[in-house]
Amino acid sequence: MKVLMYGGTGSQAGPTVKHLLRQGHTPHVLTRNLDKANELKGAGGVPVVADLADFDRLRAATREVDSVAFLLPAFLDNPGDGLVFGRNAVDAAVQAGIGMFAWNASGEVSEDNSESNTILQIFRHLQDSGLPFVVFEPTTYMENWLGPWTAPSVRNRDELSYPVLADRKIGWIASDDVGALVVAALERPELAGNRYRISGVETPTGPQLAALFSGALGRDIHYRTMTPEQMGAVLDQEFGPGAGDGVAEMYRQEQEDPDPPTKYHDMTSVLEALPVKMSTITDWVKAHKEAFVQ
């Protein structure tokens, strides 16, 4: 199976490329970076140099494959481009007669009808397109712990910092598991039309998460709730002024909500349909230990 990969050079969708190759499929990976294109050739992928705003190029690239694995970039220079990019991907798949369109929405597809809800607008466009599709709605990635808001505090202060209240349970999920689930869905066209709300199979509170880190790293780690402002400031420093505004507001609403939505899901039925071995937090931390030690 030939699969057009959106976001395949990044941390979220990169594991999907790995699982496609492992299963004997051929990933055609979209990129704007010629250096990354050369790296993909060496790894067994087919690089496709294209811009998501170039519909004609996307349509031509989509006609070369059987299926699509879509991921919208997390940070865009112009947030308004997200809807254009999503519609371009869907419309190119329609015109190419794609057999399956698997979308990792990078979070829940909220039913908020505001004009700023790009994800919902893309989802409705996908529903109306007539394409066979599956949508994955993950909770929160374990890879977020590698970010500058968490890893340095663990490494330097034995402090696991994150902008989630200490008593809130989170079903942290590894991007590698999401990649495996996406590939499993692409291999099962009979599952078209499904939305999968996915999470890890463990649901620790903040202190329980710190205890798992302690066991994996062999030293005492404690949990600290960051303020939304602190999280936003780190993102501004990493990605430019204003980059953290939306994330800070999201965490502010979550922290102030007296009855926030759950951030974990029962994965039993998902794993029956898509038989993937899920990562444990302990194994994940051990595998990424170098990020958390001096």
Please, which pLDDT band fits residue 75 given cuts at 50, 70 and 90? low
Please, which pLDDT band fits residue 113 given cuts at 50, 70 and 90? confident
* Least confident stretch, 89-93, 212-216, 251-255: 251-255
Residue 82 has pLDDT above 90, yes or no: no
Strand stretches in 154-194, DSSP E: 159-162
Average pLDDT over residues 179-197: 97
User: Is the Cβ–Cβ distance between 47 and 37 less than 8 Å?
Assistant: yes
Q: What is the pLDDT of residue 287?
A: 97
Average pLDDT, the chain: 92
Average pLDDT over residues 264-283: 97
Per DSSP, the three-state class of 22 is: helix
Strand stretches in the chain, DSSP E: 2-5, 26-31, 46-49, 67-70, 100-104, 133-138, 159-162, 195-198, 222-225
User: Is the Cβ–Cβ distance between 4 and 96 less than 8 Å?
Assistant: no
Q: What is the pLDDT of residue 37?
A: 66
Q: What is the pLDDT of residue 228?
A: 95
64 vs 42, residue with greater confidence: 64
Q: What is the pLDDT of residue 263?
A: 94
Residue 120 has pLDDT above 90, yes or no: yes
Q: Which fold has domain 2-138?
A: Rossmann fold (3.40.50)
């965490």: which residue's tokens? 251
Per DSSP, the three-state class of 117 is: coil
Give the pTM: 0.92
Pair of tokens at residue 223: 């949990």
Pair of tokens at residue 137: 């709605």
| Cβ atoms within 10 Å, residue 231 | 22
Residue 74 has pLDDT above 80, yes or no: no
Residue of 4, 10, 75 whose CA lies nearest to 39? 10
pLDDT, tens only, 232-242: 999 998 888 88
